Amino acid sequence: MRLGFIGLGAMGLPMTRHLLEAGHQVTVASRSRGPIDRAVSLGATEGAGPAAVAGGADVVFLCVPSSPQVAEVVTAMLPDLGPGKVVVDCSTIDPEVERRQHDLVTATGAGFLEAPLSGGTAGAEAGTLTLMVGGDEVTLEQVRPAMDPFAGRIIHVGGPGMGQVVKLCNNLIYAAQMLATAEATALAVKSGVDPGKLHEVLSNATGDCVAVRTRLPVPGVLPASPASNGWQPGFMTDLMAKDLDLALAYGVDVGVPLASTAVARQVLTAASVAGYGREDFSSLAKVVFALSGIAGNGGGEG
């Protein structure tokens, strides 16, 4: 299958690798030179921008950071879209912006799906991402073989915009989990509880959640956690903050109060101001620890 991929960041580059390994022809474009060179070394073809990628592909994937960037890429591709082509946006953006992109693309006769991702960079590397797909189900079945190489699960959640709504729901829960995990860890550490024992209990009790199992914010407790690896991001603080901004704005639009989301967003702001914006979002725990008078990030240096 002739595929295009625009946006070779921490998620897009490993997704492209899986497509190439599955035997697809992939034409790529990205704003940074290094990822393009890496993709070409894996067998991809470089395209001279979004229009060239769209012109030579049956299915074009987008994976870029923000709503304006998605709109910019879609606008650039429009003259080269038409019947027989499908655009799949794997970015996380505003649901209403996504619906407008759907309308613009489908007006050309092309298909459009949104498929925001969950699983972080680890899931992208392993090819086990969960895709929350909004759009036409028939179109999804047509392009499912192009998604399978990097997906562990593909779930059709509704019409245009619904994939983005579900992704924002997922991320606001994850952020609230992380803040609660950070607060619980600070409370335990300051009281003299062994963080390893805390993790053993929480992961086998009603406090269990993904944040506890993968991101307990004390170095040395979980070897693969960001805290044990210099807070290297599986999902950056600034990106989680962006997603919470989207969720809060959408909550206003539809009349749903998001109190815990607003609190988590405030702590993420503090983390960004403290210089942790490009670290994993679990580094918000360093703000909680500092406010609690806990030295050494709760048990080690990060």
Active site positions, annotated: 167
Helix (H, G, I), strand (E, B) or coil at 53: helix
Quick check: 237 and 279 in contact, CB under 8 A? yes
**Measured between alpha carbons, how far is 151 from 131 in angstroms, rounded to an integer?**
7
SS3 227: helix
Taken in order 178, 182, 185, 191, the sign of the CA dihedral is negative
Contact 98, 90 (CB under 8 A): no
For residue 115, give the nearest of 63, 175, 50 by alpha carbon: 63
For residue 74, the number of C-alpha atoms closer than 13 Å in the C-beta half-sphere is: 31
Amino acid at 173: I
Q: Tokens representing 241?
A: 């903050």
* Contact (Cβ atoms closer than 8 angstroms) between residue 210 and residue 171: no
* β-pairing verdict for 2-6 and 59-62: parallel
What are φ and ψ of residue 278, in 5° steps? -100, 5
State how far the Cα of 129 lies from the Cα of 120, in Å rounded to an integer: 8
